[in-house]
Structure 1
Amino acid sequence: MIRLDGDLICLETDHTGYYMARRGALLETLHYGTKIQPDVPALREKTGAGYGTDVVVAGAEPDSLLHLCLELTPDGRGDFRMGMVSARFADGSSVCDWAFCGAEQREEPLPPAGLPAAWGGAETLVSTFTTTKGLEAQLIYTLYPACDVITRRLRLRNTGDAPVTILRCLSSQLDLPRREYTLTTFTGAWARERRPQAAPLTEGVREFGSRTGNSSHYCNPFFQLAEPGAGEDSGRVYGFNLIYSGSHLERVETGPYGKTRVLSGIQPEHFSWTLAPGEMLDTPEAVLTFSRQGTGGVSRNLYRFVQRHIVRGPWADRPRPVLLNNWEATYFDFNEGKLLRLAREAKKLGIELFVLDDGWFGKRDSDTCSLGDYTVNSKKLPGGLAGLGRKLNDLGLAFGLWVEPEMVSPDSELYRSHPDWAVQTPGISPALSRHQLVLDLCRPEVQDYLIGQLNALLDSAPIRYIKWDMNRHMTDCYSPVLAEQGQFSLCWMQGLYRVLEQVTGSYPEVLFESCASGGNRFDLGMLCYMPQIWTSDDTDAWERMKIQSGTSGGYPQSVMGCHVAASPNHQTLRTSQLEARFDVAAFGILGYELDVTRLSPAEKSVVAAQIAFYKQHRKLFQFGQLYRLASPFVPAAGGESCAWMVVSDDKTEALVLDAVGRIEPNSETPPLRLAGLDPNRRYQVESRAQKIDIRDFGTLLNAVLPVSVNTSGLLVHAAADRYMLDTEKESYTAAGDLLMEAGLRRKARFAGTGYNEEVRVMPDYSARLYYLTALPDALPAPEPGWP
């Protein structure tokens, strides 16, 4: 709800309040956090006679800007903290004497031009500021009350009669009246994305973000600020994100007088945008949320926001298919016969969608050529994509396809025809990455070409799914169509968004998955067009526990692509149990990425059971409320551990992951406190039936067998290929409050002193799943299959 009450402006969601008030020519931030009964005199900053060397701005009451919490700070007027806007006027000056003119409430949204934005907001507030130099700013706030989210952005307009060059235009400025916070960012690199890095703030500046042209695996735009004592389930925490997929800047500055300024928006390095008289510039939307329920509360606010107001179209709440991707099974070495052998086996296992990855076009037998030449390689696929698609459909499988539209190989017909379409700076040989260059999406003709190519591709075959990849960072940034090269980054991203809007909008029934060398572009901007993102190229079970845990800070599992891959893993060479790989991947959009034709009969039986279990609980796995119970980043009793839980909206069902990394020998397992249940209901707790490869016991087999065998020999391997050992069975009935307060006590882990049905065999990097149903209600009906 938005209320305008004299000088007071109130923005209120279900549980939070954002309050501001006019202070002379300024707009002062009074409070953002828990919803309160605001009183302007009680909340105003008291400056009195000022401090030390203050610079004072004359007005109705003289103010030193450095002591105030402001919505938009004048630049060059004594607030020595960085502000949202930096401009250079025609006379060479850069002082912006912003003056607050007033605010108006709007019922309809006011989306940014050429950029994605959240949809379905309740109300919008527009606060207007002017300068004596003819530059106007509008701060645009939109409320999402049930999510406890407020978005805000900046619109600049040149109302004067001379050009104005914008050098910095960020989306959000939030000033907080204290500095005792812990800042958590989510950083990493390829194959180890979004690892939380927490550090207490000290006086000074913490600046982070991306200069790569992407939202980046180096530093995601999502971050948190937590007050002292806040944890996963309790305490005051702020969450921030940005609806943008390009280079970005986040900055947290604690000033000399104990206040904290939080900035977020487009990366200003190398940015400049000259506004002619009458021209306008929009920034991306920034996302703000607050919770008194700790980091978990912030996460669940953002889950609701992403699921209800970012992801859109028919796939927003539709169950996603279980897929098989051929990449790690074949890489570039495949033909139609090999693909169909994989597909036939996949269908027997319960797979619903077959995805053909890189290598189907041009001369693409390696990553050294042919990007941009999306003509089918007839040697590999003599019947073309249409022929392969029909054969997959005849098997009962949907057909999916990999593309990388934004890139071009120097060794390609497209590059030979249009070398000027590649991003490169005149006189400098462009840097390559993965043997490829970036197409210049600042050019309308390149955008039109991609739209036409992709539409023709989707019309050429029965394609139900597209994996849209982007495998390099941006360098050598220059476009000859731009008179001002400081516009390149934003113009390029606007070009991409136009292509995405046109293609995904024309094919709403096609399921699009975004990818960028795994999780290099995992952001809210891409999720406005594609309902899921490939979380990481790293499919190792333990690494995925860390990657998916970090990602869950700001994004729900319903947007995370997660695959079961081979062991040893192709990225880490680490071995892990087949069941553990499924248990982790099930908390997201499940897929398989391995050669299913090489699985043993026992492994095929296990995979078929996994897929059947996932389908039965698909809606709960994909859209249940996610809770993090134990962090893989925090040392725990008994060794490294990770635990997640998803709970249905009506609290009648839940699934729990209990997983380990490197275990500590001869150690007890403490009770696992659950979350999100109804404390007044009783629940039936059952362990999922899983299997253990008898080879996991190694030479210990000889301690129980009547005769000694070579545990590395053919006899044991032959037996293991056909038979697996059942895991322990666990079954309990307990009240919700017991499970959440006292915790779930599982059977003891194997400790080297004996094994029986009361012992859980859990070597390093293993896992278990537990299914909870509320009593006395009947068990829920099985989930319908994917349409």
Structure 2
Amino acid sequence: MEIIYQEKEKRFHLRNDSISYIFQVEKDKYLQHCYFGPALTSYHQSNPPQFIDRGFNTNPISSERTFSLNTLPLETSTQGSLDYRIANYQFLNQAGNSVTAFEYESYRIYDGKPRLSELPTLRGSKAKTLEIVLIDSIQQLKMILHYSIFTDSSAITRSVTFENLSNTAIYLENAGSLMLDLPRCDYDLVTLNGAHTNEANITRQKLHPGIQRIDSNRGTSSPQHQPFLALANWNTTENSGEVMAFHLIYSGNFIAQVEVEQYGTSRVQMGINPDTFSWKLDPKAIFQTPEAVMVYSTTGFNGMSQTFHHLYQEHLVPKTWQKKERPILLNTWEGNYFDFTETDLLNQADKAKELGIELFVLDDGWFGQRNDDTKALGDWFENTTKIPSKITGLAEKIHEKGLQFGLWFEPEMISKESLLFNKHPEWALQVPNYPLTQGRQQLVLDFSKEAVQDFIIDMLTGYLQTGKIDYIKWDMNRHLTEVGNLTLPQDQQQEIAHRYVLGLYRILQTLTTKFPEVLFENCSSGGGRFDPGMMAYMPQTWTSDNSDALCRTRIQSGYSYLYPPIMMGAHVSDVPNHQVGRITPLKTRGLIAMSGNFGYELAINQQSETTLSEIKKQIQFYKKHRQLLQFGDFYRLLLPTETAACAWLFKNEDEALVVYFHGLAQPAQKANYLKTYYLDHDALYQEVNSQAVFSGAELNHAGLLIPRIKGDFETCYFHFKKITSTKTV
């Protein structure tokens, strides 16, 4: 890994063993992008931009009509002159003008990677960083472009710092984190789209002229669009071909877009959504954008996923949880909803312990007058009618049974029917003279206010400092409306959406630093805020409120583009399924849930003895394979469709597990051979159940016969132990 500056060419080359990223200073002012792709040992510009005198081009040097920023591949956009493509930043000054003129000034290269102020970021002990300083000398503005490259990853991170060096305030109206100009436009655009209970659908379409954009203006990253896009060659598959992927480490309103411009080039841009953003940059003030991650793969979408998985597990999630096994849990929600007593809970805990479950989680309904979802959010004191022993006493009783104890909170919300709202109505997000719009009969607390942040920190600290709570499920069940408050002046109201996210990060940073041994699970009605910003504090996310096994094959496959299975909460629930009404076999529900972060969410005391016996065997199976399932490399062998099969592979140096989901049963079933692709080519593997021995090469290329399966939504698995290398046989 190194970052090279070639003085004569004024060229920067970031490279490691797998990738290179190259740009140079043009005309002593502008940053011209040159290359992003597989590692190059040297670069001498065999691919220079083509300079042509084109109609309607503007020319910064009037005598050079072939040189125009309209067409030059750039590292950052210009504004108000010279470049008409989508912008990565925009200022508005006191005179009402938006023109800037940033020019290259200097650079700095250093070991490591800095933490970003107030924002989550990848850790960078195995990284090198390049900073490029650009100055607008007319308005006294500074822009710093940050690039970091890792020793062991096909990834580069990007972010931008804006600084006002003048004595006059200016407004930053677009704060992009990343921009990349590419010489081609014949890519497929890949995104993850969806809805509540139908998250992370893989969408692939050809780029076309104009702007293709996904975004969120909901206050969160949202279940509708993951803050991610990828560009792939038309022939790229799961196992082969080139992919460039871009992911934003941010939990609020974002934009990710690609413009195909008139001469066949593409511009990728990603950052905070400018539609809901403005920031007053006072004299000498600094604004830092969120960090964006760029990944390059030459081995298809699974290669892309491997990079993201290892990068996030090693450099993003809290260090305490990087290699720490996650417990098997029982969550009370679907089994009880709001209807329970302390005696009921303790009886369930007894049954959970008998089955081998390790963590008992009390979900919604334990506090205030919370007997349904219409009231009491914000009143975070125990309902002693339901729990006479209070939370501390209940937790002690759960611990005495040999289980860990977890508790549900929805800290960002407030009910109009609550003691907290009666005391602090000004703490809800609101705009003067407009009604307070409710969602799920609740409002959103204004996390841009430090007093609100402190209230949540103090409340949760009160519970956590007892040492009785091992796990927190942090929920967030509605999006933001009336994003304003009664405190900030008029010209700063557009800052509130971003200030909200910064306030959330401050709370999470404070709590996870104070209580590093507490396992926090991120949730927003499932995957409503499943993003790398949250993963920096909470190492796992409740993937979707939809726990149906067929739906989960699609949802978990989609999220696996970016996140390893250990980050995806996945539960076995009752049938008929509470979300879609489907009945699937318990074996299938178990294997699909084991392919994520495993748990149960059902009425445990209402199950038959046959069901309980099978659950106990599932738990024994999972514990036996937990290291492989939680920390092994994960690959998609078959992507699911609405009705068809799905297959996943987990592997490490010693063993592999193939999980095969059959989908809907079909007549006249054809012979089905599943290629494993990723096993060690030179090794021999023994399938544990049949005792048959195959080489990795044979399984990878000839495939594995899937037995004939009758019945809808059935599953099977194959467990392989590596026994030797074919080179020694």
TM over 0.5: yes
Whether 1:327 aligns to 2:333 is yes
Displaced runs of 4+ in structure 1, greater than 6 A? none
Over residues 725-764 of structure 1, what are the superposed CA-to-partner deviations in whole Å (9 max), with x where a residue is unaligned? xxxxx442110000000000132234xxxxxxxxxxxx11
CA positional deviation for 1:656: 0.7
Q: Are the structure 2 counterparts of residues 189 and 54 from structure 1 closer, same or farther at C-alpha, using a change threshold of 3 Å?
A: same
1:623 maps to which residue?
Answer: 631
CA displacement at 1:168 relative to structure 2: 0.6
AA aligned to 2:15 is: E
What is the aligned partner in structure 2 of residue 31 from structure 1? 35
Aligned twin of 1:231: 237
Give the match's secondary structure for 2:364. Answer: coil
Tell me what 2:663 maps to.
661
**Superposed counterparts of 1:8-19, under 5 Å:** 8-19=11-22
Residue 434 of structure 1 and its aligned partner are, at CA, apart by 1.0
Q: What's the CA shift for 1:776?
A: 4.5
Q: Which moved more, 1:478-487 or 1:465-474?
A: 478-487
Specify the alignment match of 2:24 in structure 1: 21
- TM alignment of 1:747-758, pairs within 5 A: 747-750=707-710
Number of the residue aligned with 1:2? 3
The amino acid of 1:732's aligned partner reads A
Q: How far apart in 1 are the matches of 2:145 and 2:602?
A: 50
Q: 1:246-299, CA deviations, whole angstroms, 9 ceiling, x for partnerless residues?
A: 010011001001110000010111311121221110000001000100111111
Give SS of 2:680's match: coil
Alpha carbons 1:669, 1:749 under 8 Å: kept: no
2:430/2:486 contact within 8 Å kept:
no
Note if contact 1:169-1:283 (Cα within 8 Å) is conserved in structure 2: yes
* Post-superposition offset of 1:675: 2.8
| 1:161 CA displacement | 2.5
RMSD: 1.4
CA contact (8 A) 2:253 2:276 kept: no
Contact 2:228 2:247 in 1 (8 A): yes
* 2:392 paired with 1:386: yes
Counterpart in the other structure of 2:133:
128
* Alpha-carbon offset, residue 562 of structure 1: 0.6
Shift in CA distance, 60/98, structure 1 to aligned 2, threshold 3 Å: farther
**3-state DSSP class of the match of 1:448?**
helix
The 1:307/1:593 distance shift into structure 2, 3 A limit, reads same
**Does the CA contact (< 8 Å) of 1:569 and 1:575 recur in 2?**
yes
Alignment of 1:238-637 (within 5 A): 238-460=244-466, 462-483=468-489, 484-633=492-641
**Distance in 2 (alpha carbons) for counterparts of 1:454 and 1:41:** 57
- Greater Cα shift, 600-609 or 526-535: 600-609
- The 3-state SS of whatever aligns with 1:616 is helix
In 2, are the aligned partners of 1:8 and 1:40 still within 8 Å (CA)? no
For 2:74, which of 62, 70, 74 is the aligned residue? 70
The answer to whether the Cα contact below 8 Å between 2:217 and 2:276 also exists between their aligned partners in 1 is no
Show the counterpart of 1:682. 684
Q: Distance in 2 between matches of 1:398 and 1:257?
A: 61
Contact 1:207–1:250 at 8 Å: present in 2 too?
Answer: yes
Percent identity between the two aligned chains = 38
CA distance in 2 between partners of 1:774 and 1:87 (Å): 59
Equivalent residue for 1:110, pick from 89, 108, 114: 114
Shift of 1:222: 1.8
Q: Aligned partners of 1:490, 1:106: CA distance in 2, in Å?
A: 30
Q: Is 1:97 matched up with 2:98?
A: no
Residue number among 710, 713, 721 corresponding to 1:765 in the alignment: 713
1:192-231 equivalences under 5 Å are 192-231=198-237
Query: Unaligned regions of 5+ residues in structure 1, if any?
Result: 688-729, 751-762, 778-787
Q: Tell me the distance in 1 between the aligned counterparts of 2:166 and 2:605.
A: 69
Instruction: Return the offset for 1:59.
Output: 7.9
Instruction: Provide the residue aligned with 1:722 in structure 2.
Output: none
Distance in 1, Cα, partners of 2:584 & 2:185:
44
Q: Give the structure with higher Rg (CA).
A: 1
Query: Normalising by the residue count of structure 1, what TM-score does the alignment of the two structures yield?
Result: 0.89
SS at match of 2:719: strand
> What TM-score results when the alignment is normalised by the length of structure 2?
0.96
- Letter paired with 2:73: C
Shift of 1:61: 5.8
- Secondary structure, aligned partner of 1:288: strand
Match of residue 711 from structure 1: none
Contact residue 221 and residue 252 of structure 2 kept, 8 A: yes
Paired residue type of 1:427: N
Q: C-alpha displacement at 1:87, in angstroms?
A: 0.8
Pairing partner for 2:61 from 52, 58, 63? 58
Secondary structure at the aligned position of 2:180 is classed as strand
Distance 1:593 1:19 in 2: 50
Q: Per-residue CA shift, 1:624-648, capped at 9, x if unaligned?
A: 1011000113x8xxx6010000111
* C-alpha displacement of 1:91: 2.6
**Unaligned runs of at least 5 residues, structure 2:** none
- Determine the C-alpha separation between the residues in 1 that align with 2:631 and 2:657: 12
Assess if the C-alpha contact under 8 Å between 1:645 and 1:675 holds in 2: no
Cα 1:43/1:370, change in 2 over 3 Å: same
C-alpha contact (below 8 Å) 2:15/2:21 kept by paired residues = yes
Q: Counterparts of 1:535 and 1:771 in 2: how far apart (Å)? A: 26
3-state DSSP of counterpart to 1:661: coil
* SS class of match (1:654): strand
Q: Which amino acid aligns with 1:57?
A: P
**8 Å Cα contact 2:553-2:592 kept in structure 1:** yes
| Residue in 2 that maps onto 1:87 | 91
The answer (yes or no) to whether the contact 1:135–1:158 under 8 Å persists in 2 is yes
The equivalent residue for 1:723 is none
SS at match of 2:98: coil
1:90 Cα deviation from its structure 2 partner: 2.6
C-alpha distance in 2, partners of 1:613/1:29?
52
Q: CA deviation at 1:145?
A: 2.8
Residue of structure 1 in register with 2:158 after alignment: 152
Structure 2 counterpart of 1:703: none
Contact 1:114–1:497 (CA under 8 A) maintained in structure 2: yes
Q: Matched residues in 2 for 1:40 and 1:52: separation?
A: 30
Number of residues of Structure 1 aligned to a counterpart in Structure 2: 716
